[in-house]
Amino acid sequence: MSTEQSTTAVATGDGAPPPTRQRVRESHARGWSGHGAGFLAKLAIMALVNALGVLALWSAYLNGSWVIFGVLLALLVVADWVYFSKRPVPLKYLLPGLAFLVVFQLFTIGYTGYVALTNYGTGHNGSQQQAVDALLSQNEKKVPDSATYPLTIVEQDGELGFAIVEDGTAMVGTADDPLSEAGDATITDGRVTGVPGWEVVPKNDVLSDPALADEVLALRVPISDDAADGSIRTGDATIGSVYRSVLEYDGSAGTLTNTDTGVVYHATDEGQFVADDGTALPVGWRVFVGFENFTKAFTDDTYSGPLLRITVWTFVFAFFSVFVSFFVGLLLALVYNDPRVRGRKVLRTLFILPYAFPAFLSALLWKGMLSANPDYGIVNKLFFFGARIEWLDDPTLAKVSLILVNLWLSYPYWFLVCTGALQSLPDDVQEAARIDGAGVWRKFRSITMPLLLVSTAPLLIASFAFNFNNFTLIYMLTGGGPRFTDTSATLGHTDILISMVYQISGVAGGRADYGLAAALSIVIFVIIGVISALMFRRTRQLEEVS
Amino acid sequence: MRTTLFRAAAVAAAVTLLAACGDGGSETPPASQEPTTAETTEAAGGATGSLTIWVDENRKPAVQAAVDIYNETNPDVTVELVQKNFEDIRADFLAQVPTGKGPDITIGAHDWLGALIADGVVEPLDLGEKVDEFETVATQAFTYDGQMYGLPYALETVAVVRNTALVDSTPDTWDDMIAMGKEAGTKYPFVINTNGTTGDAYTYYGLQTSFGAPVFVQNDDGSYTTDIGMGGDEGFAFADFLAENGMKGEGNFSTDWTYDVANEEFGKGNAPYTIAGPWAIQTYKDAGIDVAVDPIPSAGGETAAPFVGVQGFYLSSQSQNKLVANDFLVNYVATPDVIKALYDADPRLPAMTSVADEVAADPIVAGFLAASKNGAPMPSIPEMGDVWEYWNAAEASIISGSSSAKDAWTKMLADLDAKLG
């Protein structure tokens, strides 16, 4: 999801500008110097890049993906210019990163933004033309009790027709001439194999020629002079049935008319065909809806109530997840950093274990262990004397459980980070403090902690952003439950914003609303972006202090 | 739909299961057999072109077998099988077909149909007279608003699974079954997957229909309307039944039971009866239990009709090779040889009657087939996707006793009213 990547994008944008030092010696990749290995290496790599680029361009061209084609072309031209020109020296280092930034991050963010402004979702999935096509083919229905006729494709003066066998009689017709008896036709195995004056088109010819196949698919042979009786069509060039269309499309007016009832459906700005009485046809198309999805998220009762609560809980969850585990990790690191502790290496290794398991597996295991029934839930059995404590089914306990399980999952990380940071702290400052008469607490508060924060603060921010979007844990441990009982939204007390987005997007199988989900993603992106920017600014101040 | 996803995950189990209970499973896919279609007369040459088919990992060999048979008469058609996760197929199909990048044919479950239609990504399919060769429930499942949209090939449903060492039969009514279960003297008379506190209306559905409370009201032809059928006295009678048998009542249902827990209790011999699908059988066999499969007993007086899920092939509305794709599906896949080949490669209950009869020699397969004949197709209208969450949650809260049957059921009906408009 774009939001997760965006944090790094913000971080990159906020970082210090790279130093552009003048090189005294000319790079060996720039020209032929020495035995020319560097230049040859560059040439080889660029040849490879160009070859891959041209290949990608070609396949984009074949697929008619013009946006991708344009972006690729621009990237390729820029790459060649940067590496074969003498002027853009810093770009030679930055270009690969920038290219990835554009392709993988800016594009995703941009596309998410675009989707957020449309009504993309179930019922609004494609273009208007596709919706019309789908509606027409859905409403062209087999006439009830229509027999299935063995069908042969025939041709006369370049015009295609169908020859069928009905009750042992051969009938021939074209789009303009309704079916009529073809007296002298030969019938073999119940199928027309020859009609005088007509040329039989073998099925394989039809199947092998896409243009001909399209013509056959589009061909409708009326069974009588009255169009309302329906017409023969075929899907596979071997059998035909009588179909009758209920809808008629008028391209110039943009209306679909039901020929049975006379009801006219007009195309609306909402991306749907709607009749005057308000009934709509099922298939709609994607349209631009502006900021409707954003207003819906904040004003629609179904979402706005839960949205507020879920936002608050997301902050609580991310904050406690990070700080509780950071302090537990830090505490353990301080303890196990003391040279007086025996077997430090073995103990440290043991502490890393939870970190080594995949998080989703641990979450699933915890889900089983926290089961309310002491027969199945080992936590209740071993630690609570077999009492029935509903860890995951009580709103408050479920939240506590999530934070505790996340603590178990992530304190080893902080233990690792803090141990490393502690060992790199200069001893002389500590010693000076001791000589000045500072106690253990004072030393920790005024010296160890500030120095430690310089190196860990960026990690804390990154961890906050990660937990803000920690979908895996929520999905695997509680699935967002227990559900809210006071709203119709299918959301729960432990849903965080990202799991709410997942729920709304309908990817899980409900009715999808990608537009709304994308709008919420953008909101999350903005929240995380702003927080990260603010926090990194604070971090810089921290560095200045030290 | 959690249920569908979850059952997809259980596919692996189903494969091994039916492979084991199929008739020896020693038959190789009949690659050398001639397809018995009308096309054999003009087999020379064959079509050219290409087809792209999406399949999941488990069914790739099955579809490959069908493709091999097809390629014997049509060697010039390049058929590319793209392997995808079953859980991803639906969303990817919806997303990619409008861009023209999707496949020509995809494998899928019938209950996606409503959403696929609303998004205009599937094409009607005319099976002609071959329709009659399939089980009615299968063709009904793929029929939407009078049009048939896919080729069904396999069925799946749930039934009562009985531990033959503990009980010798399954009575016709719920009360008798529980009474027999208690006589067996095991820890529980009966277990069932409730999917924990999430609820699993899918597995419980047979019991619900026996009260005459279908999820949506059905038309005479078996198709579903968008009217909720769970309201009224019948629906509340079922809700009361859940409460009576729930954790604050008899204890025959429990939200402590997940899929794994229910299977474990049954596998340990702690309960003589359970309601489960074919995908769970291998687990029981591995646990060393002999099982028999019977239709679900009636709890409310009417026939217990569990959901029948149907697997099949969909044709993309944006396919550039519709004629070839149609030809492949109607004239090659919809033949007993290929359906049997699909069964051999991935044993699910075949949707074609003649093949189903052939494989029904296995009593477990026969048991599930019998259960499927009682069953009703899972609704494929898009509204169904909105029902699960509310429905599951209402049942779970009634079973756990956290809210009264009346309150939970009333709230569910109100929520559904609001959601479905």
Per-residue pLDDT reduced to its tens digit, A181-236:
877 788 888 888 888 888 888 888 888 788 888 888 888 888 888 777 888 888 88
CB contact under 8 A, B39 and A238: yes
Would you place residue B154 in the very low, low, confident or very high pLDDT band (cuts 50, 70, 90)?
A: very high
Distance CA B105, CA B95 (A): 15
Secondary structure of residue A449 in the 3-state scheme: helix
Closest CA to A467 of A416, A523, A406: A406
Pick from B90, B97, B197, B409 the residue to mutate for testing the A interface (most A CBs within 10 Å): B197
Closest CA to A309 of A469, A486, A465, A506: A486
CB contact under 8 A, B49 and A481: no
Residue of A nearest to B50 (CA): A208
Taking the CB of residue B301, how many other CB atoms lie within 10 A of it? 12
Q: At what angle do helices A449-468 and A2-14 cross, to 10 degrees?
A: 150
Measured between CB atoms, which of A123, A141, A483 is closest to B147? A141
Q: What token pair was written down for B83? A: 């392997």
Cβ-based contacts of A130 with chain B (< 8 Å) = 98, 120, 317-318
Question: For B285-343, what is each residue's pLDDT tens digit?
Answer: 999 999 999 999 999 999 999 999 999 999 999 888 888 899 899 988 999 988 998 88
For residue B124, whether the previous peptide bond is cis, meaning omega lies within 30 degrees of 0, is no
pLDDT higher than threshold 50 for residue A268: yes
- Residue A51's φ and ψ, nearest 5 degrees, are -60, -50
Q: What token pair was written down for A220? A: 């409708």
Instruction: State how far residue B363 is from chain A, nearest Cα, in angstroms.
Output: 33
CB contact under 8 A, B415 and A123: no
Q: What is the DSSP letter of B97?
A: G
Question: For A62-83, what is each residue's pLDDT tens digit?
Answer: 877 788 889 889 989 998 888 8
pLDDT higher than threshold 60 for residue B392: yes
Distance CA B227, CA B211 (A): 17
Is B42 within 8 Å of chain A by CB? yes
Residue of B nearest to A144 (CA): B146
Distance CA B411, CA B393 (A): 11
Measured between CB atoms, which of A122, A210, A217 is closest to B115? A122
- Residue A375's φ and ψ, nearest 5 degrees, are -65, -30
Instruction: Calculate the CA A121 to chain-centre distance.
Output: 13
ipTM at complex level: 0.75
Residue of B nearest to A371 (CA): B256
| Percent of chain A's residues with pLDDT above 90 | 19
Question: For B222-256, what is each residue's pLDDT tens digit?
Answer: 778 889 999 999 999 999 999 999 999 999 999 99
The confidence score (pLDDT) of residue A545 equals 56
Is B396 within 8 Å of chain A by CB? no
Q: What is the pTM of this model?
A: 0.78
Cβ-based contacts of B403 with chain A (< 8 Å) = 485
The confidence score (pLDDT) of residue A28 equals 54
Beta-ladder partners of A250: A255
pLDDT higher than threshold 80 for residue A34: no
CB contact under 8 A, B197 and A392: yes
Amino acid identity, residue B95? A
Instruction: State how far residue B129 is from chain A, nearest Cα, in angstroms.
Output: 6
> Which runs of consecutive H residues, i.e. helices, occur in A344-488?
344-356, 359-369, 378-383, 395-423, 427-435, 440-443, 449-468, 471-477
The answer to whether the beta carbons of residues A493 and A399 sit under 8 Å apart is: yes
CA distances for A476 relative to A470, A499, B85, B386, B410, angstroms: 11, 11, 19, 22, 30
Secondary structure of residue B28 in the 3-state scheme: coil
Is A245 within 8 Å of chain B by CB? no
Measured between CB atoms, which of A208, A217, A511 is closest to B322? A217
What rounded mean pLDDT belongs to chain A? 84
Cβ-based contacts of A371 with chain B (< 8 Å) = 196, 256, 261
Taking the CB of residue B220, how many other CB atoms lie within 10 A of it? 5
The answer to whether the beta carbons of residues B364 and B291 sit under 8 Å apart is: yes
Is B132 within 8 Å of chain A by CB? no
Residues of B numbered 363-382 whose beta carbons fall under 8 angstroms of chain A's beta carbons: which are they? 382
Distance CA B201, CA B384 (A): 12
Burial class (CB in 10 A: 0-12, 13-18, 19+), A19: exposed
Residue with tokens 């919706």: A131
CB contact under 8 A, A376 and B317: no
The confidence score (pLDDT) of residue A6 equals 41
Closest CA to A15 of A115, A96, A94: A94
Distance CA A47, CA A61 (A): 21
Residue with tokens 């279908």: B214
CB contact under 8 A, B121 and A134: yes
| Percent of chain B's residues with pLDDT above 70 | 89
Is B97 within 8 Å of chain A by CB? yes
CB contact under 8 A, B322 and A150: no
Is B126 within 8 Å of chain A by CB? yes
CB contact under 8 A, A235 and B321: no
Closest CA to B379 of B175, B211, B230: B230
CA distances for B69 relative to A251, B40, B331, B343, angstroms: 44, 12, 11, 15
pLDDT higher than threshold 80 for residue B208: yes
Burial class (CB in 10 A: 0-12, 13-18, 19+), B393: buried
CA distances for B217 relative to B209, B224, B229, B232, B307, angstroms: 11, 6, 5, 12, 14
Cβ-based contacts of A507 with chain B (< 8 Å) = 91
B95 Cβ partners below 8 Å, 6+ apart?
none
The answer to whether the beta carbons of residues B145 and B155 sit under 8 Å apart is: no
Residues of A numbered 417-476 whose beta carbons fall under 8 angstroms of chain B's beta carbons: which are they? none
- Residue B62's φ and ψ, nearest 5 degrees, are -65, -50
Is B198 within 8 Å of chain A by CB? yes
Burial class (CB in 10 A: 0-12, 13-18, 19+), A192: buried
Q: Name the more confident of B165 and B49.
A: B165
Is A481 within 8 Å of chain B by CB? yes
Distance CA B307, CA B309 (A): 6
Is A8 within 8 Å of chain B by CB? no
Q: What token pair was written down for A456? A: 């860990």
Instruction: Calculate the CA A285 to chain-centre distance.
Output: 20
CB contact under 8 A, A206 and B42: no
Closest CA to B116 of A273, A139, A509: A509
Cβ-based contacts of A481 with chain B (< 8 Å) = 197-198
Q: What token pair was written down for A197? A: 């004056």
Measured between CB atoms, which of A373, A483, A510 is closest to B385? A510
Distance CA A164, CA A183 (A): 12
Is A123 within 8 Å of chain B by CB? yes
A514 Cβ partners below 8 Å, 6+ apart?
A115, A120, A121, A505, A506
Is B420 within 8 Å of chain A by CB? no
